[in-house]
Amino acid sequence: MAELEPVADKAVSYFYALLFLHHPDLRELFPPAMDVQRDRLFKALLTAARHADDAGRLTSYLSALGRAHRKYGTMAGHYPAVGEALIGALARHAPLTWGEATQAAWVRVYTVISQIMIDAAAEDERTSPPWWSAEIVGHELCGPDAAVVTLRPDQPYPFLAGQYAGVETPWWPRVWRHYSFSSAPRPDGLLSFHVKAVPAGWVSGALVHRARPGAVLRLGPPTGSMIVDHSTDNGLLCLGGGTGIAPIKALVEDVAAHGVPRPVEVFYGARRHGEFHVMDALRGLEREHPWLSVRPLVSDGPDRALRGQLSTVVRAYGPWKDCDAYLSGPPEMIRSGVDTLVGVGIPSHRIRHDSLHELLAVT
């Protein structure tokens, strides 16, 4: 991997060239533009390699990946073709380390990787569809570039507050992006996402500016482990930046629904005062539940609310060391937030956030 990393782009391009040359029928499973896809493949390989000696984590990572691939139309029979192209690309782009033994090791590793993914997909097939169709039943603009999109899935969609899902729109077929649910599961079965249109973001732009009630999206299975641990009554420290507040609001609703009061402190960062899109909902929850406290933080420009970057401000409060911590927002906020929280004494196994690799592909 060390030899490949500096030439990852070339190796991944070569991998797809080999794959589509020998199996042109597989091209239609992939999006028209391959930029994000290319990045994802290498990140997935890196993650698998990093956990190679930790069978538990490797299996749970690859099983989730195998289940998630069902929505792309991936079949067990596709894996050998991918394996051949992968070995071909590695052999060409890691000439210094490549040899008979390395090749044998990679064949062995790829066989294990693909078998775990195939088995998880087969197991999942017994209980879940590969994707859910979901009709847009509500579309509310909040500001010039953000919207709350409410969906009615065509069949029950079991998920937990704090999770996210892949979303495909009719406007960009085969382009999937991840969004966190902005509410805990509701009795009426509706789901909602809080989406911000980011520059050059195909899916987010379409969801904010083109989507209207009546349009039908596809949803992948619920994913993510940023969920409330109901086995303890530890307090919760939640940091939400921008639209990253969506799953935090869902977590608060989950604590409220569970009915066991425990302190929940939410720090909600936005660049400007007008960008606190879910503040009304959080203030409503705060009025109902004395265990909840929400602090807005404006990071840019003059304002009367608390100012500054989330992680810096959090340090000024506390103590937090006995809390379970949840972070959701821009990857940089998560990185610096984790450092801060570890610094104030919260053990890292009690700090939860979504995978930064997945977040970086949220456009």
Ligand X SMILES: NC(=O)C1=CN([C@@H]2O[C@H](COP(=O)(O)OP(=O)(O)OC[C@H]3O[C@@H](n4cnc5c(N)ncnc54)[C@H](O)[C@@H]3O)[C@@H](O)[C@H]2O)C=CC1
Q: Would you tell me which residues interact with ligand X (CB under 6 A)?
A: 164, 180, 196, 241-244, 246-247, 269-271, 297, 299, 309-311, 328-330, 332-333, 336, 353-354, 359, 362
Nearer CB in complex with ligand X: 96/316: 316
Those residues whose C-beta lies under 8 Å from the C-beta of residue 84, and which sit 6 or more positions away, are 18, 22
For 44-109, what is the HEC assignment? HHHHHHHCCCCHHHHHHHHHHHHHHHHHHCCCHHHHHHHHHHHHHHHHHHCCCCCCHHHHHHHHHH
Instruction: Tell me how far, at minimum, the Cβ of 148 lies from ligand X, in Å.
Output: 13
Nearer CB in complex with ligand X: 116/217: 217
Instruction: Tell me how far, at minimum, the Cβ of 42 lies from ligand X, in Å.
Output: 20
Instruction: Tell me how far, at minimum, the Cβ of 84 lies from ligand X, in Å.
Output: 35
For helices 279-288 and 245-258, give the axis angle rounded to 10 degrees. 20
Instruction: Tell me how far, at minimum, the Cβ of 208 lies from ligand X, in Å.
Output: 12
Instruction: Tell me how far, at minimum, the Cβ of 309 lies from ligand X, in Å.
Output: 4
Task: Indicate the burial class of 243 (C-beta count within 10 angstroms; 0-12, 13-18, 19 or more).
Answer: buried
Q: Which of 331, 322, 330 is nearest to 351 (CA)?
A: 322
> Dihedral of the CA atoms 9, 12, 17, 20 (nearest 10)?
-140
Nearer CB in complex with ligand X: 13/309: 309
- C-alpha pair distances (Å), 237 with each of 59, 179, 225, 249: 30, 22, 16, 12
Instruction: Tell me how far, at minimum, the Cβ of 105 lies from ligand X, in Å.
Output: 35
Task: Calculate the CA 36 to chain-centre distance.
Answer: 14
Nearer CB in complex with ligand X: 218/277: 277
Nearer CB in complex with ligand X: 92/350: 350
Nearer CB in complex with ligand X: 7/356: 356
Task: Indicate the burial class of 242 (C-beta count within 10 angstroms; 0-12, 13-18, 19 or more).
Answer: buried
Nearer CB in complex with ligand X: 16/176: 176
Q: Which of 307, 330, 326, 164 is nearest to 243 (CA)?
A: 330
C-beta nearest to ligand X: residue: 242
Instruction: Tell me how far, at minimum, the Cβ of 342 lies from ligand X, in Å.
Output: 15
Instruction: Tell me how far, at minimum, the Cβ of 5 lies from ligand X, in Å.
Output: 24
Q: d(Cα 140, Cα 271) in Å, to the nearest integer?
A: 21
Nearer CB in complex with ligand X: 90/298: 298
Nearer CB in complex with ligand X: 333/351: 333
Instruction: Tell me how far, at minimum, the Cβ of 336 lies from ligand X, in Å.
Output: 5
CA within 13 Å, CB half, 156: 7
Q: d(Cα 325, Cα 349) in Å, to the nearest integer?
A: 9
- C-alpha pair distances (Å), 325 with each of 164, 225, 227, 298, 344: 18, 13, 11, 21, 11
Q: d(Cα 217, Cα 323) in Å, to the nearest integer?
A: 37
Instruction: Tell me how far, at minimum, the Cβ of 193 lies from ligand X, in Å.
Output: 9
Q: Which of 120, 189, 119, 117 is nearest to 154 (CA)?
A: 189
Nearer CB in complex with ligand X: 4/297: 297
